[in-house]
Amino acid sequence: MQHPPPSGNLLYHNCDTNHGASGGAIISNIKGKYYIFALHSGSNEVNGLLLNRAVEMSRLDEWLQRN
């Protein structure tokens, strides 16, 4: 994982993606259990590097609670 300066509730990652991967789960293994902690949403150039971005699940939970 790469962590450039925060930009809202976006998570920047370096997982392999292809065109059309938006909405794909970003999954982590924590103590032997798998968790979805973000959804891939595209890419941005950050400090001259092209990095993938994802929306954190906590941000999606907040939106779902309001709608």
Question: pLDDT tens digits, residue range 22-62?
Answer: 889 999 899 999 988 899 999 888 788 888 999 888 777 77
pTM of the model: 0.68
pLDDT score of 5: 45
Is a pLDDT exceeding 60 seen at residue 10?
A: yes
Interatomic CA distance for residues 11 and 43, integer angstroms: 11
Using an 8 Å Cβ cutoff, are 52 and 40 in contact? Answer: yes
Higher-confidence position of 9 and 47:
47
Is a pLDDT exceeding 70 seen at residue 3?
A: no
Is a pLDDT exceeding 70 seen at residue 7?
A: no
Interatomic CA distance for residues 63 and 16, integer angstroms: 27
Using an 8 Å Cβ cutoff, are 10 and 57 in contact? Answer: no
Q: Tokens for 42?
A: 């595209």
